[in-house]
Amino acid sequence: MPSYNAPIRDYQFALNEFLEIQQYQGVVPGYDDLSIVDPILEESARFSQEVLFPLNQTGDEQGLKYGTDADGRGTVTLPDGFVDAYQAYVEAGWPSFACDPEYGGQGLPHVVNTPLIEMICSANLSFGLLPGLTHGAYTALHLFGTDEQKQHYLPKLTSGEWTGVMCLTEPQAGTDLGLLRTTATPKDDGSYAINGTKIFISCGEQDATPNIIHLILARLPGAPEGVKGISLFVGAKYNLDANGEMAERNNISCGSFEHKMGIHASPTCVMNYDDAKAYLVGEPHKGLRAMFAMMNEARLLVGMQGLGVAEVAYQNALEYAKERLQGRALKGAALPNKPADPITVHPDVRRMLLTMKSFTEGARILACWTALHVDFSHNHPDEEQRAGSDEFVQLMTPIVKAHLTEEGTRTANTAVQVLGGYGYIKEYGVEQYLRDARIAEIYEGTNGVQALDLVGRKLGMNTGRLLRRFFHPVEAFITENRDVPEMAEFTKPLYQAFRSLQQSSMWIAQKGLSNKDEAAGASADYLRLFSLVTLGYIWARSAKISLEKLGKFPPTESLRSSTPPQVGSNSSASLNSPSMGESDSGTESGGGEEIDSDFYEAKLATARFYLNKILPEHYSLIAKIVAGVKHLDMPEVALKSA
């Protein structure tokens, strides 16, 4: 049977030591009392481990039930325990964490909410989809809704009493939303009649909440063709009366749900709108602007799904590897009193485990770093910092979405490999993680679309200003530490990879001016290169923090100057995860502060592994990038199957 233990200690490292969020207490609104962070981490862990994780396998096996109500409308019944778990989630106040207090929210920072999202995705990804898109609907209405719409919808979305869904995709219109056909006809009462069909609507129908709020893309009569003619509307499963309370049933129905490779406990619905009542959100024909407020938030959420699945897959692969006895270590028996050694003695198994570990811990910091800038972009008192943080989030969104989901699938697949034949068996759980993880590379904009967004929009935006939001801190860090002997093994590989990223950026920018296919053809490799360098920088900084904690060189005043939030300024590896309840046997005391030396030694070992065994992929990536698009060209006859 699989197990899960939330990575509390690693989140403490990310928040308190890497990002040093305490420095923003009393400075940035929402960061008023950060003493609550540890209690939130502990309670998030308890809820995820004790309430959600036990439902994960049973929900996958039981799946969903489709039926009809008295009026013939489609109904969806969630697996046993899911409705009760959702009610416990609502009663605990989790949905309101990062919402506006004016509408019942707690106004807490996104960076504090980020651990909860990962833990939920690790414990039960299907459950995570139930409330997952609600905050995206909340954000769109909060930014673009009328005062009446905000008063009617936001309090119930904030509390979690109602959920929200995004309704974009149609059978003929996926990535290309300009092809959508759903119509919105004005009515005399100021509402609109929505007619059309939407597909792939996560949790479009379910029995956990009495009402579901739909954010729907549709066309007004006479609207321009393509994306310039799309408007956004809000409707509900049950229409609202003048007081914002549920009234008569709307003409929204679930035609069916999809039978999928994974996330079996999450309904992916076909939704039919037959003169359904809805109201315009924002301006006519400006729906994409509001939709992207939801979509960009959803893309960051999907990145967390990849990370969450990767973490639980790694944990189970590690535990199996430590217990599974097979063969002997090549340099001599590690456990001579046993019939065989644990498979952790084998270099290839250690390679797989360290690859998983170095990804999950690095990606966790990237997720928190990005969430911190989401907070800054909304609430930082300095206007320049708000603008800089917004640009940083724009730059990192395709990287978080694409890299964390790609590596989430890869990590789940590696976990199956570590378990061998048992990994292919349902009882051990990891095959479900692989099935569940795969969708995250596809929805909310495929990873290919994220790569095109990075090179097509972000790379050249404002003459490369977005790139500088990341490049400048990396350059500053390398400059500050290049003459520090203890840091040479970390800064040298980072510098080499960073140079590849700079050169690739210049090559794409120059070639793309004359031939856009050159940029498009290099986009996937460029996004991966950018992602690897981002995690390389994170691991180099983590190594410096760990060296200072271990007293291996004196702490420096310059450390704060390259702390990631200020985007506008210029041995043998321990495989024990900090999330797995390791003992404090390595704790030392120095200067009145207890130092968990095992934790920091593991950080150093993992940094060495990542920077020397993962990051060197940049050499092959830049070679593929500059090879050019000509190698993708071939006659049509060559694309025919045999």
Where exactly are the structural domains of the chain? 451-569+594-642
Q: Quick one: 403 exposed, middle or buried, by C-beta within 10 A (0-12, 13-18, 19+)?
A: buried
The DSSP call for residue 198 is E
- The answer to whether the CB of 370 falls within 8 A of the CB of 393 is yes
For residue 109, the number of C-alpha atoms closer than 13 Å in the C-beta half-sphere is 32
Helix (H, G, I), strand (E, B) or coil at 286: coil
Q: What is the pLDDT of residue 635?
A: 76
Res 559 pLDDT > 70: no
Residue 578 confidence class, pLDDT cut points 50, 70, 90 = very low
| DSSP E strand stretches across 451-610 | 587-590, 593-596
Q: What is the pLDDT of residue 354?
A: 98
Residue 444 catalytic?
A: yes
Q: What is the pLDDT of residue 566?
A: 55
Residue 104 backbone class (left: φ over 0; alpha: ψ -120 to 50; beta: rest) = left
Q: What are the CA-CA distances from residue 204 to residues 49, 121, 138, 207, 399 (Å)?
A: 27, 19, 16, 10, 28
Q: What is the pLDDT of residue 322?
A: 97
Average pLDDT of span 604-611: 98
Per-residue model confidence as pLDDT tens digits over 151-171: 999 999 999 999 999 999 999
Measured distance CA(418)–CA(406) in Å, rounded? 18
Residue 585 confidence class, pLDDT cut points 50, 70, 90 = very low
Q: What is the pLDDT of residue 568?
A: 45
Res 256 pLDDT > 70: yes
Q: What is the pLDDT of residue 556?
A: 57
Per-residue model confidence as pLDDT tens digits over 407-449: 999 999 999 999 999 999 999 999 999 999 999 999 999 999 9
Res 372 pLDDT > 60: yes
Res 398 pLDDT > 90: yes
The DSSP H or E segment spanning 167 is strand 163-167
Catalytic residue among 406, 444, 518, 601: 444
Res 514 pLDDT > 90: no
Tokens of 412: 């789940």
Per-residue model confidence as pLDDT tens digits over 287-335: 988 888 888 899 999 999 999 999 999 999 999 999 999 999 999 999 9
Tokens of 571: 């041995």
Average pLDDT, the chain: 93
Percentage, residues of the chain above pLDDT 90: 86
Measured distance CA(409)–CA(415) in Å, rounded? 10
Per-residue model confidence as pLDDT tens digits over 65-120: 999 999 999 999 999 999 999 999 999 999 999 999 999 999 999 999 999 999 99
Beta bridge partners of 587: 596
